[in-house]
């Protein structure tokens, strides 16, 4: 790996560290564990995409055991962020629905970050933004654990 590639990898790690710090501070301020924030992000993301999120899918997304997922969903339900409901397409399935409190939290957490990153992007050309977006899409895929793997990215 040459120096320029190494710098990109180190900068990407720094972005992850700063993002984690921001999430920790936000979570502490709102009494949420990091896993709670991750779960809310997954469930809100599914809702925005028009997909139903089940406890089983959430467990897979977060790489949690069934008992850990149950405890997580119970905690988020008690705090008023999620509810369990029957699916509108298959009444046998239980789906997770976000409550307004979760939407409000997501907005409070992500809006300032989006504004700050948006300000950075304002100084870039459309072509530069497209290159950054392409890189980030590929980086997310490269870092996503593969089924049956130990969780570490390949490479």
Give pLDDT, residue 31. Answer: 87
Is 87 among the domain residues?
Answer: yes
Give the highest mean pLDDT range of 50-59, 106-115, 145-154: 50-59
Q: How many angstroms separate the CA atoms of 42 and 28, rounded?
A: 19
Strands (E), the chain: 82-86, 94-98
Q: How many angstroms separate the CA atoms of 141 and 143, rounded?
A: 5
Does the pLDDT at position 128 exceed 90? Answer: yes
Does the pLDDT at position 153 exceed 60? Answer: no
Is 150 among the domain residues?
Answer: no
| Whole-structure pTM value | 0.75
Is 129 among the domain residues?
Answer: no
Give the CATH number of the domain where residue 101 resides: 1.10.10.10
Give pLDDT, residue 46. Answer: 92
Give pLDDT, residue 152. Answer: 54
Q: How many angstroms separate the CA atoms of 40 and 99, rounded?
A: 10
111 near 49, Cβ under 8 Å?
A: no
């Amino acid at each position: 790996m040459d120096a320029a590639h190494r710098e990109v990898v180190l900068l990407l790690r720094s972005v992850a560290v700063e993002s984690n710090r921001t999430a920790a501070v936000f979570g502490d301020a709102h009494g949420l564990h990091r896993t709670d924030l991750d779960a809310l992000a997954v469930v809100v993301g599914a809702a925005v995409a028009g997909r139903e999120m089940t406890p089983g899918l959430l467990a897979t997304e977060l790489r949690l055991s069934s008992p850990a997922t149950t405890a997580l969903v119970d905690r988020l339900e008690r705090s008023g962020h999620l509810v369990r409901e029957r699916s509108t397409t298959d009444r046998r399935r239980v789906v997770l629905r976000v409550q307004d409190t979760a939407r409000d939290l997501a907005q409070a957490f992500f809006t300032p970050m989006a504004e700050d990153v948006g300000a950075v992007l304002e100084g870039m050309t459309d072509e530069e933004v497209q290159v950054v977006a392409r890189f980030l899409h590929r980086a997310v895929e490269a870092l996503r654990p593969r089924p049956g793997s130990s969780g570490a990215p390949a490479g």
